Amino acid sequence: MEHLFSDRVKKLKASEIREILKLTQRPEIISFAGGLPAPEMFPVEAYKAMSIKVMDEMGREAMQYSTTEGYDPLREKIAKRMQASGVRVSKEDLLITNGSQQGLDFTGKIFINPGDYVLCESPSYLGAINAFRAYECEFKEVETDSEGMVMDALKEAIDQHPKAKYIYVIPDFQNPSGRTWSESRRKELVELANQYNLIIIEDNPYGELRYEGEAIPPVKAFDTEGRVVYLGTFSKTFSPGLRIGWVCASPLLLNKYITVKQGADLQASSMSQRVLNAFLENYDFDAHIRAIINVYHKRRDLMFSEMKKHFPQNAKYEISKGGLFAWVELPEHVDARELMKLAVSNKVAFVPGGSFFPNGGKENYMRLNFSNMPEPKIVEGIERLGKILSKEI
Amino acid sequence: MEHLFSDRVKKLKASEIREILKLTQRPEIISFAGGLPAPEMFPVEAYKAMSIKVMDEMGREAMQYSTTEGYDPLREKIAKRMQASGVRVSKEDLLITNGSQQGLDFTGKIFINPGDYVLCESPSYLGAINAFRAYECEFKEVETDSEGMVMDALKEAIDQHPKAKYIYVIPDFQNPSGRTWSESRRKELVELANQYNLIIIEDNPYGELRYEGEAIPPVKAFDTEGRVVYLGTFSKTFSPGLRIGWVCASPLLLNKYITVKQGADLQASSMSQRVLNAFLENYDFDAHIRAIINVYHKRRDLMFSEMKKHFPQNAKYEISKGGLFAWVELPEHVDARELMKLAVSNKVAFVPGGSFFPNGGKENYMRLNFSNMPEPKIVEGIERLGKILSKEI
């Protein structure tokens, strides 16, 4: 029956991270592999209280179909939060999605014709690469430095790929590299997109999880022509199990996302949207985020200081100023996929970095998550990894 | 910026039903337009109790990421229910989706190359037509009679369209026609698919809502070669606002659905799956469905008896033995889209049937929903519609 499959899925592979996550769910393994929030930070009691409140006050509406765009009070609250970060936006510019992963999938569906090029950071987020690839695009990886994409490299990439539709970026605490774009680079990106008539897809799941320095406005804040599509999510600041994210875009673009959402699954959960909205209404969300930051900050510091202690000198990294990940460059000859096998047999896990380069060829990176594991396990796990690295590289 | 859109979305239109639904949400309108369950039948107190139970017993897991395939205990319960309907299935054959609409979207993504033909009933479900169309297919509508697709017409369609990948059918209380396939026709369909090496997509949102006669096993029960993909949902028997449905398919096919789900939105809500599972574990789901049937049965009887009283003789219909809809054929010259405008100005609404014919050309049908409106409104609404019909056709 294989011949009946579409060309697009014939090329698809299951996500390597998801497969690795399955391997590493055994409790004896110290896993730095997933991008999981710390479960002890989930506001379980508050969620329970808000579920009761929603069911008491509007149970029937919460169980019924509702509009594709999303629950208006929730959209309003998201608009307000985005305004506070410097984006001029109203609820009409927002569509509620099943996490920002769905925004990525819709982006591919809306823009990509087979053979089109997507311009992305090198490395870039594996989940986005997989989502876009399902629409049969090619990728042009653009060189990045500690301030973001190198603009000359981006210009050259655009000149070389006139069929490119959009530039996909994660400007805050990027997955996997942990890097953050400078403000000036963000402005330059918008100017370049204006000049070349391109769309910018700004994926921002980690922006609120900053452990040092000053917040920088999103690229969307500098959008002068309505060509930045901003993808947000509550997965890292509230709960990923709810699957609530959003797309923020100008009307011409947002209308396509709404139409695509209709065909894809009609709407996000009426229930989850209302419970989350009740939480935002009745609790101090910023205080909740500060509590998360407090925990992750310590875990980040601990992971990097343990890495300094146990990793050999030729394992290189920059300290991530926010987000969930440490990104480690190993000597070029090292294959992190092989290291991963050794690591799992030593009961510690990470994600080999190769899959974050859509065009492949770079196997000497490791992505380590520091948000999910409690401190003693970070110490123990980095020590185990350090032993392997010292022996193998 | 329009030139940046993909070819597939350039052709997409917003769903007519969704747009009509927006119009008809004003409380003064008696709406037979949506496919909405009766909100007073939602088990609000039970849902609240089960939310509390889930948050108390496994709050952190319910808020965390989980596997793409879905929550195992829920998959097991669905497998058991399907076994009871005659399908040999285990939880490994199931993927949890955001309602069956997502199963439809994935079906298009997995099988359709631009220009491929989808074979479907005439008429067919508008939401499926829109989902498939997003992957740039063409449709071949196959003649149906009161037992299902006419097999000679189907054979001819297959011969004419050798590039067809699958046959899309809603064998139980079809949306919009209300018709149900006979058992013998189901078996013939599987034989034909085997013979021609085609996939069957069986969409069954209404099968459990039968008001008379004996249940007929799903087409999937007669699947001998693993080529029937079955789409199920809790939207009509529990709650559509949760967005929980499932795909049941043989491993070769299901693996593609799982991979596509990973890229599309990672997983269905961990929370909703657990609360639904707790409901199925702690309440009598069959008794709940019987209570729904009891209410809808009365509403169906009432709607058809009022139609008999108030509709002119040249409005033709068969009594639906289950599901949510009455399907009315008007004389050929009548344009139901024009009637709809008159109806809305008389504060009653339905869905014009034209959109259910993917190739168009048939405007003389109306779809009326009988599940959502309470009995006095059914009486009042059908009387209003009858007046309009008597005057206009």
Assess whether A337 and A385 both reside in one domain: yes
Residue B370 and residue B382: Cα distance in Å, rounded? 10
Please name the residue of chain B whose CA is at the shortest distance from the CA of residue A127.
Answer: B263
Q: What is the pLDDT of residues A36-72, one digit of tens each?
A: 999 999 999 999 999 999 999 999 999 999 999 999 9
Rounded mean pLDDT, B161-190: 97
- Search chain B and give the residue with CA nearest A128: B263
pLDDT at res. A82:
98
What phi and psi values does residue A122 have, to the nearest 5 degrees?
-120, 105
DSSP string, B280-316: HHHS-HHHHHHHHHHHHHHHHHHHHHHHHHHS-TT-B
- List the single residue in A15, A39, A68 with the smallest CB-CB distance to B262: A15
Q: Do residues A80 and A147 both lie within one domain?
A: yes
pLDDT tens-digit readout, B53-110: 999 999 999 999 999 999 999 999 999 999 999 999 999 999 999 999 999 999 999 9
- Give the model's pLDDT for residue B18: 64
Residue B21's pLDDT is 65
- How far is the C-alpha of B321 from the C-alpha of B172, rounded, in Å? 9
For residue A324, what pLDDT is reported?
98
Q: Do A7 and B113 touch (CB under 8 A)?
A: yes
Does B100 contact chain A (CB < 8 Å)?
no
B125 contacts B184 by C-beta, under 8 angstroms: no
- Of A282, A312, A330, the residue that ends a domain is A282
Query: Considering the domain boundaries, does residue A48 fall inside one?
Result: no
Q: Are A10 and A1 in contact (CB under 8 A)?
A: no
**Over the stretch A136-194, which tens digit does the pLDDT of each residue have?**
999 999 999 999 999 999 999 999 998 899 999 999 999 999 999 999 999 999 999 99
**Domain shared by A136 and A250, yes or no:** yes
For residue B57, is it within any domain? no
What stretch of H or E contains A352?
strand A351-352
Which residues from B are below 8 Å from A199, CB to CB?
1, 4
B22/A39 Cβ within 8 A: no
Percent of chain A with pLDDT strictly greater than 90: 93
Question: d(Cα B86, Cα B216) in Å, to the nearest integer?
Answer: 9
Residue of A nearest to B255 (CA): A14
**Angstrom distance (rounded) from CA A136 to CA A119:** 14
Q: Is A251 on the interface with B (CB under 8 A)?
A: no
For residue A285, name the pLDDT band (cuts at 50, 70, 90): very high
Which ranges of A2-86 does DSSP label H, i.e. alpha helix?
Answer: 7-10, 16-23, 44-63, 72-84
Q: Which is it for strands A245-248 and A228-233: parallel, antiparallel or unpaired? A: antiparallel
Among candidate residues B228, B208, B243, B210, the one with its CA nearest the CA of residue B168: B228
Structure tokens, B209: 């809502």
pLDDT at B51 over 80: yes
pLDDT at A13: 73
Strand partners, B149: B144
Between the CA of residue B166 and those of A11, B96, B253, B283, what are the distances in Å? Answer: 20, 22, 13, 38
Q: Are B276 and B18 in contact (CB under 8 A)?
A: no
Q: CA–CA separation, B167 vs A378, rounded Å?
A: 53
State whether A277 and A292 are in the same domain. no
Q: Where is average pLDDT lowest: A63-67, A316-320, B15-19, B136-140?
A: B15-19
User: Looking at the domain assignment, is residue A52 inside a domain?
Assistant: no
Tell me, yes or no, whether A175 lies in a domain. Answer: yes
Are A47 and B63 within 8 A, CB to CB? yes
* CA atoms lying within 13 Å on the CB side of residue B205: 29
Q: Enter the DSSP assignment of B37.
A: P
pLDDT band at A11 (very low <50, low <70, confident <90, very high): confident
Q: Mapping DSSP to helix (H, G, I), strand (E, B) and coil, where does residue B201 land?
A: strand
Residue A286, phi then psi, degrees to nearest 5: -65, -40
Is any Cβ of chain B less than 8 angstroms from the Cβ of A37? yes
The answer to whether B267 contacts A243, with C-beta atoms less than 8 Å apart, is yes
- Cβ of residue A262 closer than 8 Å to a chain B Cβ: yes
Q: Is residue A199 predicted with pLDDT exceeding 70? A: yes
pLDDT above 80: residue A211: yes
Spatial distance between the Cα atoms of B175 and B233, rounded to a whole number of angstroms: 14
Cα of B230 vs its chain's centroid, Å: 12
Q: Nearest 5°: CA angle at B327, between B324 and B328? A: 150
Q: What's the whole-number average pLDDT of chain B? A: 96
Nearest to B287 by CA among B213, B208, B203: B208
Would residue A200 count as lying in a domain? yes
The per-residue pLDDT for A24 is 74
User: In a mutagenesis test of the B interface, which of A65, A107, A118 is the best target, namely the one with the most B β-carbons within 10 Å?
Assistant: A65
Question: Does residue A146 sit at the B interface (CB-CB below 8 Å)?
Answer: no
- B86 in the Ramachandran plot: left (φ > 0), alpha (ψ -120 to 50) or beta? left
For tokens 């889209």, what's the residue? B337
**DSSP letters along B106-122, please?**
HHHHHHPPTT-EEEEES
Q: Mark yes or no for CB contact B55/A36 under 8 Å.
A: no
- Among B366, B323, B360, B281, smallest CA distance to B71 is for B281
B294 and B277 fall within a common domain: no
Length of chain A in residues, anyone?
393
Number of other CB atoms surrounding residue B316 within 10 Å: 12
Domain end position, chosen among B234, B255, B282: B282
Q: Of A282, A313, A340, which residue is a domain's last?
A: A282
Contacts of B13 in chain A (CB under 8 A): 259
Q: Please tell me whether residues A254 and A352 are part of one structural domain.
A: no
pLDDT(A17) > 70: no
Question: The CATH number of the domain where A194 resides is what?
Answer: 3.40.640.10
CA distance A158 to A192: 10
| Euclidean distance between CA atoms A75 and A89, whole angstroms | 10
Say if B49 falls within a structural domain.
no
Look at residue B48 and tell me if it is in a domain. Answer: no
The 3-class SS string of A121-136 reads ECCCCHHHHHHHHCCC
pLDDT at A350 over 90: yes
Number of domains in chain A: 2
Q: Tell me how far apart the alpha carbons of residues A108 and B6 are, in angstroms, rounded to a whole number.
A: 9
Q: A257: Cβ–Cβ under 8 A, 6 or more apart, which residues?
A: A95, A97, A103, A106, A110, A229, A247, A249
Residue A205 CA to its chain's centroid (Å): 5
**For residues A313 and A331, what is the distance between their CA atoms, to the nearest angstrom?**
10
What the block records as the tokens of A61 is 């509406």
Phi-psi region of A26 (alpha: psi -120 to 50; beta: other; left: phi over 0): beta
In a domain, residue A243? The reply is: yes
pLDDT in tens, A244-281: 999 999 999 999 999 999 999 999 999 999 999 999 99
Contact present, B278 and A113 (Cβ < 8 Å):
no
| Cβ atoms within 10 Å, residue B2 | 7
Co-location of B111 and B247 in the same domain: yes
| Same-domain pairing of A309 and A384 | yes
Query: Is residue B81 classed as helix, strand or coil in its secondary structure?
Result: helix
Q: DSSP characters for A186-232?
A: HHHHHHHHHHHT-EEEEE-SSTT-B-SS-----GGGG-SSS-EEEEE
State which H helix or E strand residue B336 sits in.
helix B336-345
Give burial (CB, 10 Å; 0-12/13-18/19+) of A289: middle
In tens, the pLDDT along B340-389 reads 989 999 999 999 999 999 999 999 999 999 999 999 999 999 999 999 99
Which residues of chain B are within 8 Å of residue A38 when distances are taken between CB atoms?
Answer: none
Find chain B residues with C-beta within 8 A of A249's C-beta: none
Residue A360 belongs to a domain with what CATH number? Answer: 3.90.1150.10
Residue B129 CB partners (closer than 8 Å, separation 6+)? B120, B139, B355, B356, B358
Q: Check whether residue B17 and residue B125 sit in a common domain.
A: no
Q: Which of A237, A266, A372 to mutate to test the interface with B (most CBs of B within 10 A)?
A: A266
Look up residue B223 and give its two tokens. Answer: 């699947």
From its phi and psi, is residue B335 left (phi > 0), alpha (psi between -120 and 50) or beta? beta
Residues A377, A352 share a domain: yes
Strands B166-169 and B199-203: parallel
A330 near A350, Cβ under 8 Å?
Answer: no
Contact A55 B34 (CB under 8 A): no
Please give the residue range of the domain that contains residue B125.
64-282
pLDDT digits (tens, 9 = 90+) for B304-323: 999 999 999 999 999 999 99
Indicate if A247 and A140 belong to the same structural domain.
yes
- B137 shares its domain with B225: yes
A367 CB-contact burial (10 Å; exposed 0-12 / middle 13-18 / buried 19+) = buried
